[in-house]
Amino acid sequence: MSDDVETALDEWWATLCVALGLDEVPPVRDAILGLAGVAAHNVVRPAAPVTTFLAGYAAGLKGGSAEEVGAAIATARAAVPR
């Protein structure tokens, strides 16, 4: 990822967290992007946002800790067909 993309993504992450009222979000951006890539390439491209949303939603329902987010991402990755 280029520095410009990285900077824009960092700024968007911060802006969106404020807009959504999220105080503390586990630093899992790269894991989320990785999950999106796996879903897009192994299911269909539109599966990327659906998969990441559902993983985040599942983690949020369980409390949203870094461990719960990581577990939801791992579970979602395991569910993607290879």
Query: Can you give the residue ranges of every domain in the chain?
Result: 25-82
- Is this model's pTM higher than 0.85 or not? yes
Mean pLDDT in the chain? 94
pLDDT in tens, 27-58: 888 999 999 999 999 999 999 999 999 999 99
Q: Cα(35)–Cα(21) distance, rounded to whole angstroms?
A: 24
* pLDDT category of residue 23 using cuts at 50, 70 and 90: confident
Outline where DSSP puts E strands in the chain: none
Please give the structure tokens belonging to residue 25: 């979000």
Type of residue at 3: D
Angle between helices 66-79 and 47-61 (to 10 degrees): 140
**Res 81: pLDDT:** 93
